[in-house]
């Protein structure tokens, strides 16, 4: 078999994965608080021993998908339980898998009076799950929650301590460390939501670029395949 077919094949597989990531990002352009993924490429050896010949045994792969945590644009909604974070940090919510971080910010009051996420997970304050009495809700820049001008709790807005990190769980949830630290520099904005940080125009340009590169890999694969077929045919004629 023509070993030259492997590098373009590996390249095509990596580009296909890149297209999937770009498509997923663009598909979440209107998802509140979504942070786009930014793939990191690496190379691996095609064999465990023996020298690489002109790079023929070095294959590209997507090594990691770290999220881009840059701030999304804040948009005004005027809804009392729409809350955006301006700066680093996360809301803390209670899920069936334990406490997790959340950046979405589109909350509502359930029938038990709890402040919950779009999936029904309670939002945590300094006293535990935040319970909202009936009345007019106000949320201050430091996360203090007032109902009818009476403070009932304060949102937990945290970040991972130095040396620790958080990773995405799905599109809006993040792992939470056992002991987070208060995100003191982060401002809470009531009546606003943080848009996705996806730039659809730039990502569409990137999709076009990657698609063209993918087509080039396909042409290279076909060329290698044709060369192999020609070599086999020549061998049959000479034999």
Helix axes 200-238, 6-27, angle to 10 degrees: 160
Instruction: Walk along the chain (239 residues) and give the pLDDT tens digit of each residue.
Output: 556 666 777 778 888 888 989 999 999 999 999 999 987 766 555 444 455 544 455 666 666 778 999 999 999 999 999 999 999 999 999 999 999 999 999 999 999 999 999 999 999 999 999 999 999 999 999 999 999 999 999 999 999 999 898 999 988 999 999 899 999 999 999 999 999 999 999 989 989 998 888 788 777 777 776 666 666 666 666 65
Distances (CA, A) of 146 to 103, 150, 157: 21, 5, 16
At residue 154, the pLDDT reads 98
3-class SS at 11?
helix
At residue 48, the pLDDT reads 46
- Cα–Cα distance between 176 and 161 in angstroms, integer? 10
- Cα–Cα distance between 173 and 123 in angstroms, integer? 12
CB within 8 Å of 178: residues ≥ 6 apart: none
At residue 106, the pLDDT reads 94
Phi-psi label, residue 54: left if phi above 0, alpha if psi -120 to 50, beta otherwise: left
- Give φ, ψ of 104 to 5 degrees: -60, -60
Residue spans of beta strands (DSSP E) within the chain: 40-45, 58-64, 74-76, 83-86, 90-95, 98-102, 108-109, 115-116, 124-125, 128-129, 137-139, 144-147, 150-154, 157-159, 168-169, 173-175, 181-182, 187-190, 192-194
Q: Which residue has the tokens 């070993």?
A: 3
At residue 112, the pLDDT reads 96
């Amino acid at each position: 078999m023509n070993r030259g077919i492997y590098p373009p094949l590996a390249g095509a597989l990596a580009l296909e994965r890149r297209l999937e990531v770009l498509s997923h990002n663009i598909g979440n352009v209107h998802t509140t608080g979504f942070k786009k993924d930014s793939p990191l490429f690496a190379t691996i050896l095609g064999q465990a021993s023996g020298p690489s010949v002109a790079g023929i045994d070095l294959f590209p792969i997507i090594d990691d998908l770290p999220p881009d945590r840059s701030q999304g644009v804040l948009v005004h909604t005027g809804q009392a339980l729409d809350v955006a974070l301006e700066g680093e940090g996360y809301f803390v919510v209670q899920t069936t898998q334990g406490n997790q971080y959340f950046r979405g910010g589109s909350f509502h009051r359930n029938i038990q009076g709890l402040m919950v996420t779009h999936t029904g997970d309670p939002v945590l304050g300094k006293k535990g799950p935040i319970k909202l009495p009936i009345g007019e809700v106000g949320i201050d820049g430091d996360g203090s929650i007032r109902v009818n001008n009476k403070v009932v709790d304060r949102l937990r807005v945290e970040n991972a301590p130095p040396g620790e990190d958080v990773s995405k769980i799905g599109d809006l949830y993040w792992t939470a460390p056992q002991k987070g630290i208060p995100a003191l520099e982060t401002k809470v904005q009531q009546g606003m939501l943080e848009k996705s940080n996806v730039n659809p125009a730039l990502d569409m340009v990137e999709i076009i670029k990657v698609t063209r590169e993918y087509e080039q890999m396909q042409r290279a694969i076909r060329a290698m395949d044709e060369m192999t077929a020609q070599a086999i045919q020549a061998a049959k004629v000479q034999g």
